[in-house]
Structure 1
Amino acid sequence: MGTSDIFKYFLISLLILYILFISFPTHLSTFDLMSSFKSINNKPPNSNSSASSSSPTTLRHVVFGLVGSEGSWHHRRRYIESWWRPNATRGYIFLDRPPTGDLLPWPDASPPYRLSENLTAFLQETKAAVPFAVRIVHAIMEVFREADDGNLRWVVMGDDDSIFFVDNLVDMVAGYDHRKYYYFGAPSEFIMSNFWFSFAQGFGGAGVILSYPLAKALAADMDNCLRRGAQIISADHITMVCVADLGVSLSPHRGLHQVDMHGDISGFLSAHPAVPILSLHHFDHVDPIFPATDRAEAARRLMKAAAADESRMMQQTICHHKQNHWSLSIAWGYSAHIYERMMPRWILQKPIETFQAWAGLPRPPPQFLFNTREPSRDACEAPHLFFFREVEKTPNRTLTIYSRAAPRGLPVCWWANSVSADNISEIRVLSPPTKRTEMDRAECCDVVLEGEKAEVTFRECFSNDTLAV
Structure 2
Amino acid sequence: MLAHRCSARTSSSILLVFVLAIVFLTARRVHNPRAPPPPPDRATWRDGDMSKACPQDLEFLRTKDLALTQKIVYTRRCIRPVRGDVDRDVVANVSSPLVTTKTILNLADGCSSAEPPPCEPLSLHVPPAYPKPEHQYQHLVFGVASSYGRLQDALPTFAHWLSGSGAALIVVVADADQPDANFDLAALEAAYRNLSIDATVIAPKLKTGLPRKDTPANEPLPSPAPVEQLHFLLIRDMLEFATPQTQWLGVLDDDTFFPSLHPLSGMLQQHNHSAPVWLGALADNLESIRKWGYMSYGGAGVFLSMPLARQLAPHLDSCIRKTTIISGDGMLRDCIYLNTPTKLTVVPELYQHDMRGDPAGFYESGRRVLSVHHWKSWYNAPVDKMAAVVRVCGDCFLQRFRLGDDTLLANGYSVSVYRAGLLPTLDLGRIEGTWGGWGGSDFDFVYAPFRPPLAPEDKKSYRLVGVAEEPAATVNGVPAKLRQFYVHRTTTEEEKKGKDSAMDEVIELVWEG
TM range (shorter): 0.5 to 0.7
- Is the partner of 1:152 in helix, strand or coil? coil
The answer to whether residue 311 in structure 2 is matched with residue 234 in structure 1 is no
Q: Partner amino acid for 1:312?
A: C
Map 1:34-433; keep pairs closer than 5 Å.
58-85=136-163, 88-98=166-176, 100=182, 105-110=187-192, 111-118=199-206, 120=208, 122-123=210-211, 127=215, 131-147=226-242, 149-164=243-258, 165-198=260-293, 200-229=294-323, 231-245=324-338, 246-273=340-367, 275=368, 277-289=369-381, 298-314=382-398, 316-319=399-402, 321=404, 325-326=405-406, 328-339=407-418, 340-341=420-421, 343=423, 347-356=427-436, 365-368=440-443, 369-371=446-448, 372-377=450-455, 379=457, 381-387=458-464, 389=467, 403-406=485-488, 426=507, 428=509
Residues 186, 201 of structure 2: 8 Å contact kept: no
CA apart distance, 1:335:
2.4
User: Which of 394-403 and 201-210 deviates more?
Assistant: 394-403
Residues 81, 109 of structure 1: 8 Å contact kept: no
Distance 2:346 2:211 in 1: 31
CA apart distance, 1:241:
2.3
Residues 487, 507 of structure 2: 8 Å contact kept: no
CA apart distance, 1:154:
0.5
Distance 1:214 1:180 in 2: 7
Residues 162, 205 of structure 1: 8 Å contact kept: yes
Distance 1:124 1:228 in 2: 6
After superposition, the C-alpha distances for 1:402-430 in whole angstroms (9 at most, x for unaligned) are 55522799xxxxxxxxxxxxxx9647597
Q: Partner amino acid for 1:333?
A: G
Residues 392, 479 of structure 2: 8 Å contact kept: no
User: Which of 212-221 and 366-375 deviates more?
Assistant: 366-375
Structure-2 residue corresponding to 1:436: none
Distance 1:208 1:67 in 2: 14
Q: Partner amino acid for 1:237?
A: G
CA apart distance, 1:60:
0.4
Distance 1:96 1:208 in 2: 19
Residues 366, 400 of structure 2: 8 Å contact kept: no
Structure 2 stretches of 5 or more lacking a match?
1-134, 193-198, 492-504
Instruction: State TM-score, norm by structure 1.
Output: 0.61
Distance 1:70 1:96 in 2: 7
- Is the partner of 2:187 in helix, strand or coil? coil
- Is the partner of 2:143 in helix, strand or coil? strand
- Is the partner of 1:172 in helix, strand or coil? helix
CA apart distance, 1:92:
1.0
Distance 2:136 2:337 in 1: 28
Residues 137, 165 of structure 2: 8 Å contact kept: no
CA apart distance, 1:206:
1.2
Q: 1:182 to 1:335 in 2, by over 3 A?
A: farther
Distance 1:378 1:386 in 2: 14
Q: 1:121 to 1:343 in 2, by over 3 A?
A: closer
Distance 1:204 1:180 in 2: 21
Q: Partner amino acid for 2:288?
A: S
- Is the partner of 1:83 in helix, strand or coil? helix
RMSD in angstroms over aligned alpha carbons?
3.8
Distance 2:188 2:435 in 1: 36
Distance 2:159 2:337 in 1: 33
Q: Partner amino acid for 2:286?
A: I
Residues 62, 154 of structure 1: 8 Å contact kept: yes
CA apart distance, 1:281:
1.7
- Is the partner of 1:140 in helix, strand or coil? helix
Distance 1:407 1:223 in 2: 52
- Is the partner of 2:343 in helix, strand or coil? coil
Distance 2:447 2:230 in 1: 32
CA apart distance, 1:391:
6.6
Q: Percent identity?
A: 21
Distance 1:209 1:398 in 2: 35
Distance 1:344 1:184 in 2: 39
CA apart distance, 1:90:
0.8
Q: Partner amino acid for 2:357?
A: G
After superposition, the C-alpha distances for 1:105-145 in whole angstroms (9 at most, x for unaligned) are 23534232122222527438983999442221111122122
> Bigger relative contact order, structure 1 or 2, given CA contacts below 8 A and separation 6+?
2
CA apart distance, 1:254:
2.4
Greater C-alpha radius of gyration:
2
Distance 1:391 1:267 in 2: 28
Q: 1:377 to 1:364 in 2, by over 3 A?
A: closer
Residues 156, 209 of structure 1: 8 Å contact kept: yes
Residues 386, 426 of structure 1: 8 Å contact kept: no
CA apart distance, 1:318:
4.7
